[in-house]
Structure 1
Amino acid sequence: MSGDDMNPAAVAQPVKDLQGDDRWMSQHTRFVQECKDAEPDVLFIGDSMIQLMQHYDVWREVFSPLHALNFGIGGDTTCNVLWRLQNGELQNIRPKVVVLWVGTNNHHHTAEEVAGGILSIAQLLTSRLPKAKIVVLGLLPRGERPNPLRQKNAAVNDFLRSWLPRLGQALLLDLSAEFVHSDGTIGPQVMFDFLHLTAAGYRTMAKPLSDLLLHILEETPEEKRASAV
């Protein structure tokens, strides 16, 4: 699998303005403007799982201090994120790390297609930001009990686990196991609608993610010695 344009989940496209308020394009335009004004070390980009993160204390306490930007838009698919990145959301910024979380909204694509779409985004990021690390967050299980969409998301993660190492700069952080009880159920304490995370749910994923980000952002021994002089 190469994640090329033959894959429908890897074909960049904006969201159609079906509701008539052009909110999606307005959000994209705001992000492009933010690129002109900010110098982030960490860029978060993806769907509502990224977008909603900034409305909880965990963003203010854990991620914002890392000089982070949040470019999440609810409902986005891999096709939408790919289009945004190709149309201005990487201009003028050079983050050291990009956190990518998208794919659970690709309902009409197969697991292999979804993973191929995510791989295409990661490939674009590595080509535009050759010095950055790309952290791809695995798709979380969804639904209170086991169901076909859970199986598909797990299959997407399996493909990514196999494919991402080829890029060198990209890695998968799969936190799925943190959200499922031993009987296979997911509780509303961590996912209020059995898809989107609660404050407790974001706390669950914040520790391993922040530990990884801090490790990536940590100064090299040479830089530490230079700054101590």
Structure 2
Amino acid sequence: MKISFKKIAFLLGLIAIVTQVNAQTAKWDSTYRPGKYVEQVSKFKAEQTSKKDYVFLGNSITAGTDWAKLLNLPQAKNRGISGDITFGVLERLQDIIDGKPKKVFILIGINDISRNIPDSLILRNYKLIIDRIRKGSKKTQIYFNTLLPVNASFGKFKNHYGKDDHILYINSEIKKLAAKKVTIIDLYQEFLDKDNHLKAELTKDGLHLIPEGYQVWAKFLNSTEYLH
């Protein structure tokens, strides 16, 4: 059977379109772990735990302060790992569950967004985190933070910028987790400027907070019942 030049041209064009679409499809990797992940997890394992602990679980934004000093709360434990994603939290979650902490404050997901992990998987992982804590440590109270805004004007974390729609969507879905009897802490609004960006005076690079940023966070928490 002979194929006309028109059909060949059509097929080649179709292949070119498919190739272009595939090239534009964002790649992502659930196995990614930050360079110091194993070291940090080992360090956490070595620390004593108590059923009175208030665990702050997340990535570099959580890791960036001493929660015990910031909140004048000796039982506060920092379980933030810089660069971590939801899959990394799930991998190390059992150690936290085994400690049977009084409360867990979770802020995770911005690095997932920066690494092009689909929103649906981020949300699935949120639910897995909640369900596993519920199953393994029934008395632990779970607090889920909305993601903070970013500020692209600093130009330092380009993979995190230009994805405001993802942040807003994820935050809207986080608020729905209240149906799972999880307390939602809407941090996003506390750090937002008039242009819907992370307030420049609270960050050093458009993503991470400076001490003044953590003071805003602490003031907000202290104005609630979350720390009682």
TM-score (norm 1): 0.74
The size of the alignment, in residue pairs, is 191
**Contact 1:139–1:153 under 8 Å retained in 2:** yes
Partner residue of 2:105 out of 99, 102, 117: 99
Larger RCO (CA under 8 A, 6+ residues apart): 1
For residues 195-225 of structure 1, the C-alpha deviation after alignment (integer angstroms, 9 at most, x for no partner) is: 001111111111222344xx2564xxxxxxx
- Which residue does 1:62 correspond to in 2? 71
**Contact 1:97–1:135 under 8 Å retained in 2:** yes
Q: CA RMSD in A?
A: 2.5
Matching of residue 155 in structure 1 with residue 162 in structure 2: no
Alignment of 1:125-140 (within 5 A): 125-140=133-148
- Which residue does 1:117 correspond to in 2? 125
**Contact 2:62–2:78 under 8 Å retained in 1:** yes
CA distance, structure 1, for counterparts of residue 70 and residue 199 of structure 2: 25
For residues 153-175 of structure 1, the C-alpha deviation after alignment (integer angstroms, 9 at most, x for no partner) is: 1110111112x12322x121112
- Which residue does 1:15 correspond to in 2? 33
- Which residue does 1:26 correspond to in 2? 39
Q: CA deviation at 1:83?
A: 0.3
**Contact 1:115–1:157 under 8 Å retained in 2:** no
Q: Percent identity?
A: 25
Higher Cα radius of gyration: 2
- Which residue does 1:73 correspond to in 2? 81
CA distance, structure 2, for counterparts of residue 43 and residue 101 of structure 1: 11
> Are the structure 2 counterparts of residues 144 and 63 from structure 1 closer, same or farther at C-alpha, using a change threshold of 3 Å?
farther
**Contact 2:151–2:206 under 8 Å retained in 1:** yes
**Contact 1:178–1:204 under 8 Å retained in 2:** yes
> Are the structure 2 counterparts of residues 80 and 189 from structure 1 closer, same or farther at C-alpha, using a change threshold of 3 Å?
same
CA distance, structure 2, for counterparts of residue 205 and residue 24 of structure 1: 25
- Which residue does 1:48 correspond to in 2? 60
The runs of at least 4 aligned residues of structure 1 exceeding 4 Å deviation read none
> Are the structure 2 counterparts of residues 89 and 185 from structure 1 closer, same or farther at C-alpha, using a change threshold of 3 Å?
closer
> Is there any run of 5+ residues in structure 1 with no aligned partner, and where?
1-8, 18-22, 219-229
